[in-house]
């Protein structure tokens, strides 16, 4: 490597865009389902309803359990 490359600070891996993280979205959906309330599917935005301790999306059929 050339000295100029070694002097340059590394580029950040992630930029803070202010948008919710994947963890924020999944945790929020899980909290709503755990409280017995329907919520939006974190994957497709469809309706996700609580059922038997988990959530199931009526549109894409993904689940949180």
> CB neighbours of 34 closer than 8 A, spacing ≥ 6?
50
Cα diameter, the chain: 60
Per-residue pLDDT of the chain (65 residues; tens, 9 = 90+): 556 666 777 777 777 788 899 999 999 999 999 999 999 999 999 999 998 878 999 999 999 88
**Domain map (residue ranges) of the chain:** 21-65
Put simply, whether the predicted model's pTM sits higher than 0.85 gets the answer no
């Amino acid at each position: 490597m050339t000295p100029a490359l070694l002097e340059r600070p590394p580029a950040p891996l992630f930029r803070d865009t202010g948008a919710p993280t994947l963890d924020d979205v999944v945790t929020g959906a899980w909290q709503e389902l755990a409280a017995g309330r329907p919520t939006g599917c974190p994957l497709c935005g469809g309706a996700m309803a609580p059922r038997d301790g988990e959530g199931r999306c009526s549109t894409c059929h993904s689940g949180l359990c």
